[in-house]
Structure 1
Amino acid sequence: MPAHPARRSSRGKQENQLGSSPATRNKVFRYRRICARSCRHHRCGCAGCPDCSDVYPQLGASKHPMGYTLKKIIALYRTDAHSPFQRLGYQARVKQDRMMERISEKHGHLQLRGVKSKTLTAWYKDWSSGGRIAAGHALIARLRTLFRFGFIVLEDDDCLRLSEILRESRFRTQGPRLVQLTSDHVKAIRAEARAHFGWYSIALAQALQFELRLSQKDVIGEWVPIAEPDESDVIVHGKKWVRGLCWSHIDKNLVLRHTTGSAGKRIEADLRTAPMILDELGGQDEIIRLVNERVGPIVINDVTGLPWSTAEYRRKWRLVARKAGVPDMVKNRDSVQAATLVGGPDQARVLRHITLTDISRHLRSRRR
Structure 2
Amino acid sequence: MPPRGKKPGLKRGRHNLPYWYANQVTRDPKGFPDTCIPLPPDANDELLAQLCHEHTARLRAHIAKVDAETAEPSLTKTRYDGTVKAACRIYQEHPLSKFHKVGHGTRKTYLVSIKLLELTVGARLIRNVTVLDVQHWYDEWRKGALTIDEDGNKEIGPERIDRAHDAVSMFRTVIYFMAALRHADCKVLAFELKQIKFEKGGAREQELTYQHVSSFIQTAISLGQKGIMPYDRALNMAIATAAQFEMMVRQKDIIGGWEPTRADRRMPAGITVLHHESETWTGFFTWEAIAGWRWRMKTSKSKYKAAADFDLTKYSLLMPLLEAVPAGVDRTGPIVKGEHGLPVRYRSFVKWFRQIAEVAGIPSDVQNMDARAGGATEAEEAGAALDQIQNALTHSKSSTTIRYIRRRNKKIADVADMRQQFRASEKPSS
Of 117, 122, 145, the match for 1:103 = 117
Asked if 1:132 corresponds to 2:153, the answer is: no
Contact 1:268 1:352 in 2 (8 A): no
- Call closer, same or farther: CA 1:350–1:243 in 2, change over 3 Å: farther
Correspondent of 2:176 among 145, 148, 169? 148
Within 5 Å, give how 1:1-368 maps onto structure 2. 51=68, 55=72, 68-130=82-144, 131-152=159-180, 154-196=181-223, 197=229, 198=231, 199-227=234-262, 229=265, 230=267, 233-252=273-292, 254-261=293-300, 263-265=303-305, 266-282=307-323, 294-301=331-338, 303-337=339-373, 343=379, 345=382, 354=394, 356=396, 358-362=397-401
Q: What is the deviation of 1:167?
A: 3.0
For the residues of structure 2 that align with 1:267 and 1:275, how far apart are their CA atoms?
19
| Aligned 8 A contact 1:128 1:135 in 2 | yes
Q: Give me the whole-angstrom Cα distance separating, in 2, the residues matched to 1:322 and 1:364.
A: 26
Letter in 2 for 1:174: G
Task: Say if 1:246 and 1:149 are closer, same or farther in 2 by CA, change over 3 A.
Answer: same
Unpaired stretches in structure 2, ≥5 consecutive residues: 1-12, 14-26, 32-57, 145-158, 224-228, 409-430
Give the number of the structure whose alpha-carbon radius of gyration is greater.
2
The aligned amino acid for 2:92 is R
Secondary structure at 1:242 match in 2 = strand
How far 1:91 moved relative to its partner? Answer: 1.8
1:81–1:124 distance in 2 versus 1, CA, 3 Å: same
Q: Structure 1 residues 275, 70: CA separation in 2 closer, same or farther (over 3 Å shift)?
A: same
SS at match of 2:194: helix
Amino acid at match of 1:120: V
Cα offset, 1:187, TM superposition: 0.7
Task: Kindly state the Cα deviation for residue 316 of structure 1 after the two structures are TM-superposed.
Answer: 1.2
Identical residues among aligned pairs (%): 24
Distance apart, 1:293 and its partner CA: 8.3
Structure 2 Cα separation of the partners of residues 185 and 258 of structure 1: 26
CA distance in 2, matches of 1:184, 1:342: 11
Shift of 1:76: 1.8
Which segment drifts farther, 312-321 or 49-58? 49-58
Is the contact between residue 390 and residue 398 of structure 2 (CA under 8 Å) also seen in structure 1?
Answer: no
Deviations 1:268-317 (CA, angstroms, capped at 9, x unpaired):
1111211111121228xx89x67x9833101112x532211111111111
3-state SS in 2 of match to 1:101: helix
Aligned residue identity for 2:166? A
How far, CA to CA, are the matches of 1:189 and 1:49 in structure 2?
71
Give secondary structure in 2 for the equivalent of 1:276.
coil
Over 3 Å counting, the alpha-carbon distance change for 1:346 and 1:243 in structure 2 is farther
Cα separation, partners in 2 of 1:250 and 1:306, compared to 1, 3 Å: same
Query: Any gaps of 5 or more consecutive residues in structure 1?
Result: 1-5, 7-28, 59-63
Cα deviation 1:206-263 (Å, max 9, x = unaligned): 01111111111111111111225248653333212112511121132x2201222161
Deviation (angstroms), 1:171: 2.6
Range moving further from structure 2, 308-317 or 256-265: 256-265
d(CA) in 1 for partners of 2:70, 2:189 = 24
Separation in structure 2 between the aligned mates of residue 280 and residue 365 of structure 1, nearest angstrom: 26
Contact 1:269 1:351 in 2 (8 A): no
Residues 54 and 135 of structure 1: is their aligned pair in 2 closer, same or farther, counting only changes over 3 Å? farther
Amino acid at match of 1:51: A
Report if aligned partners of 1:67, 1:113 keep a CA contact under 8 Å in 2: no
Alignment CA distance shift 1:296-1:339 (3 Å): closer
Does the Cα contact within 8 Å between 1:270 and 1:349 map onto a contact in 2?
no
- Matched to 1:257, the amino acid is R
RMSD of aligned residue pairs (Cα, Å): 4.2
Please tell me the residue identity of whatever aligns with 1:148: Y
The Cα of 1:332 is off from its aligned counterpart by 1.2
Whether the 8 Å contact between 2:216 and 2:356 is mirrored in structure 1 is: yes
> TM-score scaled by structure 1?
0.73
Distance 1:53 1:335, change over 3 A: farther
Residue type at the aligned position of 1:294: R
Q: Larger relative contact order (C-alpha < 8 A, sep ≥ 6)?
A: 1
Task: After superposing the two structures, state which structure 1 stretch, 66-75 or 95-104, moved more.
Answer: 66-75
Counterpart in 2 of 1:19? none
Whole-Å separation in 1 of the counterparts to 2:395 and 2:241: 26
Q: How many residues align?
A: 321
